[in-house]
């Protein structure tokens, strides 16, 4: 793709965000950065100082001085009556001024270690939920996890909580090293405000704060799983939990899921089951009460333990959510994992585990070796956010928005993809769609990208995916409501394209 020249320069010379440095130094740093990164190659002509000054809104003196310094350093070359060019060997010169430039040596250096041979654990080849680079910019219809509507973000409320945490009188509450401890106020808020709504009552030393729910899965695997542990997973199930578990190489046993959730009647011998009772991930069904009872009975009878991911339990459009599986657990064998900040913003990263006291103590020591502890600043700010009632009011706003989007998506699916089946969920942010049997979700995902649509193909949720795997998930947390109908139309076009390629006849798009 050709970029107009002035846009290119504009991009190249985005100044590093260092207001404390003089403009001239920032401009020099930008040039050096681009040379080092290889985007300004030897012999490339730079804009005249006049042009660059105009382009960047700098004084011409600033640009001239920066250029002169770079010429003196040997990075640029001034050719009389021609202009300013990147000097021959400039990249090497930049790299040599730096005593080491590992990125440049990387691969090319004969004495470099063989990192591939040294890598003893890698997850990079495993299937997982992933998005293309620049997904937020390049795709108009992102039916995937990961973004959210900035209009819903409680900016003022969260800012107030951060500012309060940074009041001088509060510093002693969170600035010290917490070692294996957590911020007591956050533990109390979870205990007395969040958990009772889920029917769960816990003591403070049964709660372990984590860097999001993801760390909870990883921490439990580290404590409980080795090569001999038989871990049952819903099939299809949540790939990020599966990948965290895989680090400890347990025996993964896929367990069937049907319209009532995990099929508990025919469980193989197990040491642990990972389950998402609130909204099964990815099918969104809620595990029925009967199934919950049976699962707990089986766990007691055959002595396995349960990791409950109480995923999106607060995201219910109306009515009262079913209490957590943990609330029915009378033999302390359910380990409860909750997300805290997910509804606020995926990137804040706070979650927690409820576990029996002795195990919780071990988890805290393991956590210390992994990260010391989750940021106490965030813990403190989030405790305030909870204590002021912001968490609930934010969850209500999110739920209203999701319900609206769900209605729009369901109507568009019925209209444009009538042969696709789905159950409208009572809550959550996703629709699990079953396409006609000939269609593979992964192939659809690839084709849909060309139509500006991102979907989550069904195969990544499986330990052993079928082919074709005619399922996919539409997530509605990242897409603006006004784009949903158009997005489904675009998805329909992708389906038509695949059908045409296979010679499958379809009604034309209305």
Within residues 23-62, the interface with a copy of itself by CB under 8 A covers: 29, 33, 36-37
Of 141, 145, 422, 432, the one binding a copy of itself (CB under 8 A) is: 145
The answer to the question of residue 320 lying near a copy of itself (CB under 8 A) is no
In the DSSP assignment, the letter for residue 326 is: G
Alpha-carbon distance of 397 to 400, in angstroms, equals: 5
Nearer to a copy of itself, 85 or 382 (CB): 382
Nearer to a copy of itself, 206 or 309 (CB): 206
Residue 295 Cβ vs a copy of itself, minimum distance, rounded to whole Å: 14
What is the three-class DSSP state of 495? helix
- Part of the chain binding a copy of itself (CB under 8 A), chosen from 60-68, 77-85, 130-138, 436-444: 130-138
Whether the link from the prior residue into 330 is cis, omega within 30° of 0, is no
Q: Judged by CB under 8 A, which of 46, 76, 141, 218 binds a copy of itself?
A: 218
308 beta partners: 275, 336
Stretch that binds a copy of itself, among 51-59, 324-332, 407-415, 445-453 (CB under 8 A): 324-332
**How far is it, in rounded angstroms, from Cα 68 to Cα 399?**
58
- Give the contact letters, 336-375, x = binds to a copy of itself (CB under 8 A), - = no: ---------xxxxx----x-xxxx-xx--xx-xxxxxxxx
DSSP-derived 3-state class of residue 98:
coil
Selected binder of a copy of itself within 53, 70, 139, 206 (CB under 8 A): 206
Q: What angle do CA 356, 358, 360 make, to 5 degrees?
A: 65
Stretch that binds a copy of itself, among 77-85, 142-150, 285-293, 447-455 (CB under 8 A): 142-150
Find the part of the chain contacting a copy of itself (CB under 8 A) among 174-182, 252-260, 280-288, 409-417: 174-182
| Minimum distance of a copy of itself from residue 124's CB (angstroms) | 4
One of 106, 258, 290, 423 touching a copy of itself (CB under 8 A) = 106
Structure tokens at 47: 């804009």
Which of these segments, 77-85, 237-245, 396-404, 422-430, binds a copy of itself (CB under 8 A)?
Answer: 237-245
Q: Which of 211, 253, 275, 491 binds a copy of itself (CB under 8 A)?
A: 211
Within 10 angstroms of residue 321's Cβ, the number of other Cβ atoms is 19
Is residue 395 near a copy of itself by the rule CB under 8 A? no
Question: Nearest 5°: phi and psi at 460?
Answer: -70, -15
Considering only residues 59 through 78, tell me which ones interact with a copy of itself, judged by CB under 8 A.
none
Any residues with CB less than 8 A from the CB of 108 and at least 6 apart, and which? Answer: none
Asked if 383 touches a copy of itself (CB under 8 A), the answer is yes
Secondary structure of 62-91 in HEC code, one letter for each residue: HHHHHHHHHHHCCCEEEECCCEEEECCCHH
Asked if 11 is part of the footprint of a copy of itself (rule: CB under 8 A), the reply reads: no
Count of alpha carbons within 13 angstroms of residue 492, beta-carbon side: 21
CA distances from 427 to 242, 352, 424 (A): 24, 22, 9
Choices 51-59, 220-228, 440-448, 485-493 (CB under 8 A): range interacting with a copy of itself: 220-228
Asked if 437 and 468 count as a contact pair (C-beta separation under 8 A), the reply is: yes
CA distance 68 to 66: 5
């Amino acid at each position: 793709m050709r970029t107009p020249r002035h846009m290119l320069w504009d991009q190249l010379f985005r100044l590093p965000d260092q207001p404390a440095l003089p403009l001239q130094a920032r401009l020099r740093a930008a040039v050096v950065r681009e040379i080092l990164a290889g985007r300004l190659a030897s012999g490339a002509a730079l804009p005249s100082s006049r042009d660059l000054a105009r382009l960047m809104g700098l004084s011409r003196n600033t640009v001239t001085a920066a250029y002169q310094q770079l010429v003196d350093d040997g990075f640029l070359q001034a050719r009389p009556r021609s202009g300013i060019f990147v000097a021959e060997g400039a990249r090497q010169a930049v790299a040599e001024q730096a005593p080491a430039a590992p990125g440049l040596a990387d691969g090319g250096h004969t004495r470099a270690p063989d990192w591939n041979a040294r890598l003893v654990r890698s997850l990079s080849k495993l299937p997982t939920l992933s998005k293309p680079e620049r997904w937020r910019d390049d795709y108009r219809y992102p039916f995937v996890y990961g973004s959210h509507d900035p209009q819903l973000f409680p900016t003022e409320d969260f800012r107030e909580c951060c500012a309060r945490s940074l009041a001088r009188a509060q510093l002693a509450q969170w600035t010290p090293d917490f070692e294996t401890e957590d911020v007591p106020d956050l533990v109390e808020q979870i205990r007395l405000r969040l958990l009772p709504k889920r029917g769960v009552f816990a003591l403070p030393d049964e709660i372990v704060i984590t860097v999001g729910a993801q760390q909870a899965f990883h921490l439990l695997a580290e404590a409980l799983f080795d090569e001999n542990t038989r871990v049952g997973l819903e099939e299809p199930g949540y790939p990020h939990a599966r990948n965290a578990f895989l680090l400890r190489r347990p025996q993964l046993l896929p367990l069937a899921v049907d319209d009532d959730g995990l099929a508990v009647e025919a469980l193989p011998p197990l040491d642990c089951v990972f389950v998402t009772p609130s909204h099964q991930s990815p099918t969104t069904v809620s595990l029925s009460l009967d199934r919950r009872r049976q699962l707990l009975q089986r766990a007691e009878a055959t002595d396995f333990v349960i990791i409950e991911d109480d995923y999106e339990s607060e995201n219910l459009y109306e009515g009262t959510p079913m209490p957590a599986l943990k609330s029915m657990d009378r033999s302390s064998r359910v380990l409860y994992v909750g997300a805290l900040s997910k509804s606020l913003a995926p990137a804040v990263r706070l979650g927690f585990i409820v576990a029996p006291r002795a195990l919780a103590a071990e988890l805290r020591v393991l956590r210390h070796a992994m990260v010391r502890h989750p940021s106490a600043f965030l813990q403190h700010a989030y405790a305030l956010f909870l204590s002021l009632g912001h968490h609930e009011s934010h969850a209500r706003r999110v739920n209203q928005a999701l319900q609206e989007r769900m209605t729009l998506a369901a109507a568009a699916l019925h209209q444009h993809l009538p042969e696709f089946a789905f159950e409208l969920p009572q809550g959550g942010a996703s629709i699990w769609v079953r396409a006609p049997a000939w269609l593979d979700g992964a192939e659809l995902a690839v084709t849909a990208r060309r139509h500006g649509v991102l979907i989550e193909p069904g195969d990544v949720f499986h330990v052993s995916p079928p082919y074709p795997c005619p399922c996919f998930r539409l997530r509605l947390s990242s897409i603006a409501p006004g784009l949903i109908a158009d997005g489904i139309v675009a998805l329909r076009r992708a389906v038509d394209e695949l059908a045409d390629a296979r010679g499958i006849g379809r009604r034309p798009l209305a």
